[in-house]
Structure 1
């Protein structure tokens, strides 16, 4: 089989394909129009001097330009670094610095997000590789870097050089949680993206004449991108929300006979809350969901009773989303659990006992390890982290705890370690702690996750340096530097952290900190 069979462009060569390929805010985009957009974008990238190995940061909401940039970058041999639109200055600066992006394509404005103000918080010396900005929706925005308009294709650009068959080089970088300040960058190639997209289309038995997707997850994350590419591979129509809102999602599900949707439990909860109809979505076949909030089992039962079929699933940036999903024949209690059956017939899942280090038998919990065609290339510019994450025989150490069922499926149980799931994203405490410690009045900080009014929020404990900082001042500082979901709900001043002595040294008792946070919040509302 030729390398071209594993290029992103190959996903558009589906013989039986629905038209339009996409619908954005009611505007259809045919497959032919999309392919013209790719060639146009590739020519534009080449005119900007972007070629083999160059990194382009994409800071856009869900729009046709986002997808065209990914396919065009692959055409040019370039790499797309996906930037979360909820990121703020410290996070954007870290991604740009780590990726070495030469060009950033950004929104001019979107709802309440002031992209120019966020960029203004980044000094040029923090991101020395960045040479210019390309703006969607405006000629320029106030910034330290030269600006060009991305979507001004009214002039002719020479066609991009012929596509290269470098399908095993990085083409897309996702961000993922790290143990120190800032996320790591997960590198995927055209081959890993394409083979997994094809596996998703086959495993879900997608038929372009029958099936369609409501894409309501951000393209900057693997959950949104994987589901999108799976339906592109199947030739099925994708209806896209630029950013999730329950009311537009409800309208699209109802009016366009959508059969598939993927999202968080909270997304589906909000959609159901907007309609009193007993069975509002008769055409829905599969709603893959990630359980991030308390009460997800009760939600799943209500959704089932109202004809909204929720399916548990599993994935990560490293092995891609929709790595596994439950099957319709599974009992309801099993179907809503995280995990499921791998999409790829070539995927292998095993569980390792975290105490003995030996492979665990079925029904015994341990760390999930995965080998699959969807596995990432490695952490970009971080060979040490890559080496630590991959076993000698090529399995990815997920850092997740689960168990095998013995029938080819598995169950995801919880996240190992201290990573927190906030706002639907996995966040390392160290990222928030480092931002707190960068403030002059903070000597040290620890951050833990707690259940607050039915939502997972983080709480910070701070050891002050000299003059104790005010909680309001610290929170204002964090709001300028981090996405809102990472800002602690409470910040408590303490003289010291609870610790315990072990054979490996003194360790902070994070479980005790979580208990302290819960106790203090309970006392406040009592």
Structure 2
């Protein structure tokens, strides 16, 4: 990355690096070819009527088209809204509606995902801004909208002019909200590119010595940040279209991978596939987010087998890889979520969650962050942006943690009731609203539970006069939501446990969690 250049294009590094930028399914994509693909994608987008400020929704697995479209949109001054391939109709419709996307670029098919069926469950009136679909892997797709083939790499289109705008929105991530559907976190080229450069520098990445296994989805900040940071460093990136433990193990062993990022469960699955005492002799930094119970015990096992795990911290708002444990830190400190910020310009502080007063190092409170990696705001939601930002520009993370006093911090838990399911932060209200839309449901509450070592959710439903069947509720949710959001258990109750307070009657979610765990334990 050239000094003072805050554009995404600066990360390609054609003049500086010669190794392949990316390897998809064994096929290398040199940096010169990546640059050509970006040119082609920009010309194609312009031919579809995409201009500065327009939103393009990208509903793809990890593939070269995803990368090319993001960089192409940046060149045109357009915006990419990232769509999780695990989303179903309600989630896709919400994102399209909230973003105002004019164009949706999507997969024709991928494994068991029926994209056409998901689209068929979305009413055109629910997404009024959407004008056209573009499909990869097929000529067309049955849908309510005009559909074209994504043929940017096959057909020549007139070159597209570049637009200025490194400080304008270019990428929208989804993040959990407290009500139905997630908010959209807006990042600019500047926030993405400067953070990528900071990560590359903090990790001391070398094109000659290092390589990355990209096994996280580009649609989320965890996968995208790793991609951009290692591009900025000139490091070769081997990409999985979607995570599977077996191909991940093969790539880690055959290609001398030094870096990888994922959840504790992903690394657990990989390590379980081999009996070799130390199967990854080239591993240097395997950064992980702890989502499952027993992650500390697993980190000890992984360390003994030569898989060096490093605790991380990040969010859609401040980007993934915001911070990481240090190699010279004690093992117990290194694996904690949190660590030292990648950027030397990042600032953190802790406030008492009740009084709002600053607390001393070692005391717990809500974490607030100011950093070059911070988001522009919530897209088309200025009120939510104001509520999440302090008067002096710090982002209120909604996370509870503590400062160590040496420039590092420890993330302890999520404030409020948001749930971590399937590696994603999910608002209970999103699932509850879907349940409430079902026939026979008067009210619903959803809580996270530990089910056989997995983070799942359980629902409590107050039925109407004619109670619904559990199977019917589950079937409805499976059609409307990603699988990890579907409750593992549904319990019918007459009322929810509540507490009277000065601010009104509050549902005792902690009591609901305890009730769910008691029922699960009795099974």
Q: What SS is found at the alignment partner of 1:411?
A: strand
**Does residue 1:479 correspond to 2:445, yes or no?**
no
Structure-2 separation of matches of 1:11 and 1:508: 49
- Indicate the residue corresponding to 1:60 in structure 2: 60
- Indicate the residue corresponding to 1:319 in structure 2: 318
- Indicate the residue corresponding to 1:199 in structure 2: 198
Structure-2 separation of matches of 1:418 and 1:15: 48
- Indicate the residue corresponding to 1:141 in structure 2: 141
Q: What SS is found at the alignment partner of 2:190?
A: helix
Structure-1 separation of matches of 2:427 and 2:36: 41
Once the two structures are superposed, residues 62-88 of structure 1 have per-residue CA deviations (whole angstroms, 9 ceiling, x without a partner) of 000000000000001100000000000
CA contact (8 A) 2:14 2:32 kept: no
Q: What SS is found at the alignment partner of 1:345?
A: coil
CA contact (8 A) 1:442 1:463 kept: yes
**Does residue 1:179 correspond to 2:178, yes or no?**
yes
1:251 and 1:3, CA in 2 relative to 1: closer, same or farther beyond 3 A? closer
- Indicate the residue corresponding to 1:392 in structure 2: 391
Alignment coverage as a number of residue pairs: 523
Structure-2 separation of matches of 1:369 and 1:152: 43
CA contact (8 A) 2:352 2:364 kept: yes
TM-score by length of 2: 0.99
C-alpha displacement of 1:356: 2.1
Mapping for residues 78-117 of structure 1, pairs under 5 Å: 78-117=78-117
TM-score by length of 1: 0.98
Q: What SS is found at the alignment partner of 2:5?
A: helix
1:4 and 1:64, CA in 2 relative to 1: closer, same or farther beyond 3 A? farther
Q: Which runs of 4+ in 1 moved over 6 A?
A: 1-4
Q: What SS is found at the alignment partner of 2:181?
A: coil
CA contact (8 A) 1:16 1:208 kept: no
- Indicate the residue corresponding to 1:76 in structure 2: 76
C-alpha displacement of 1:298: 0.8
- Indicate the residue corresponding to 2:400 in structure 1: 401
Structure-2 separation of matches of 1:144 and 1:209: 50
C-alpha displacement of 1:34: 0.3
Structure-2 separation of matches of 1:244 and 1:455: 18
5+ residue gaps, structure 1: none
C-alpha displacement of 1:388: 0.2
- Indicate the residue corresponding to 2:249 in structure 1: 250
Mapping for residues 82-481 of structure 1, pairs under 5 Å: 82-151=82-151, 153-161=153-161, 163-481=162-480
- Indicate the residue corresponding to 1:23 in structure 2: 23
Q: What SS is found at the alignment partner of 1:392?
A: coil
Q: What SS is found at the alignment partner of 1:354?
A: coil
Once the two structures are superposed, residues 45-76 of structure 1 have per-residue CA deviations (whole angstroms, 9 ceiling, x without a partner) of 00000010000000000000000000000001
Once the two structures are superposed, residues 210-267 of structure 1 have per-residue CA deviations (whole angstroms, 9 ceiling, x without a partner) of 1110000000000000011000000110000000000000000000001100000000
**Does residue 1:5 correspond to 2:10, yes or no?**
no
C-alpha displacement of 1:164: 2.0
CA contact (8 A) 1:432 1:486 kept: yes
Structure-1 separation of matches of 2:452 and 2:156: 56
Q: What SS is found at the alignment partner of 1:458?
A: strand
